[in-house]
Amino acid sequence: MNFWKKLNKPILALAPMADVTDPAFRFIIAKYSKYEGSDVGQYGNKNTNKYQKFTPHPHLEVKLPSGGLGIPTGGPDVMWTEFISADGLALAPEKGRKKLLKDLEFTEIERPIVAQFFTSKPKMMEKAGRLAYELGFDGVDINMGCPDKSIEKQGSGAALIKNPALARELISAAKSGAKGLPVSVKTRIGYGKNEMEEWIPELIKENPAAIIVHARTRKEMSKTPARWESIKTAVRIRNELKSETLILGNGDVLSIEDAYSKIKDSGCDGAMLGRAIFGNPFLFRNKNVLSKIEGPYIPTVKEKLSVLVEHTTLFEKILGDIKNFSVMKKHYKAYVSGFEGAVGLRAKLMETNSAGEVKKIVEEYLQTVDNY
């Protein structure tokens, strides 16, 4: 059941980001990066029996393309959900739990996909691991790097770096609940200072399938350049301990080419990309860029704006009842830049409140330009 062992190296992963890697954006990324925009089906109406479910969610059903799914030609090699509160899943009232479960929706084209949870309670982590198994996820990840103060107050996220014993208990609990699914950890190089020599061996004692290391301390947040030499240290420690745990680096990875360069320099098994995906769901289409004579794929303005509309429409359709429309606007800043008229178009889009408004504005813009 360990999908990690089947992945070709170097591995390229999509980072978990709150209010970014939601079900709508993951679907768009998979469609335009993994399947290069080909027909991968669409979200459908659960009352139409020709729609096939991919996960146990009764409300998530996807219409398959008539010819079935093709073979993915791009990446990412593995996707993450947004991070989800394990405590909330177990203890929240029905309305709150329903919202959290919505964040755990996924479709077949996103596989392999990992559900990420945060908690400081082993029992809650065990329950979350069991839920991930029941929902059909390919793996479970424990967040041990989030610097958010509200998360740390619970003893979760980056606070676990200061509590290795509890961190190990959580890994063990996740394994117990996940019934054989691989368990990974996403963390940082330390809390207030670089603590790799002490921290990484503690995690490896529990034999996680992978450790994803953000190359900054909790104190540094994202305010200083990522220190990728620390990833090389993690690899050395892993090798000295003769562990099979995979090491992936994270932090300031600007492109696929940059990812490959950092992987080569550090000797790690792969890289996780986060902010580079904003406004660029085509990013992982360049997974094989080093073997392509023509270089990286660069979408036209029309392509980007067409996907922006599709992304917005899907967000409104599947998340509009639980998330504020303003969540989409962080994407507009990235989608709409670097071309003539972008500033004015972006300003108009930032005033919208529905997918219909967005579509109308984009269509009007495209009618005013000759080459896009």
Catalytic site residues? Answer: 146
Q: Are residues 119 and 87 in contact, defined by beta-carbon separation less than 8 angstroms?
A: yes
Q: Which residue, among 120, 116, 119, 168, has the nearest Cα to 137 in the 3D structure? A: 116
Is the CB of residue 282 less than 8 Å from the CB of residue 334?
no
**Residue list, annotated binding site for FMN:** 116, 186, 214, 274-275
Tell me how far apart the alpha carbons of residues 353 and 257 are, in angstroms, rounded to a whole number.
36
Given a contact cutoff of 8 angstroms between Cβ atoms, the answer to whether 183 and 155 are in contact is no
Tell which residue, 176, 172, 84, has the closest CA to residue 127.
176
User: Is residue 59 classed exposed, middle or buried when 0-12, 13-18 and 19+ CB atoms within 10 A define those classes?
Assistant: exposed
Question: What size, in residues, is the chain?
Answer: 372
CB 145 within 8 A of CB 218: yes
Beta carbons of 157 and 146 less than 8 angstroms apart: yes
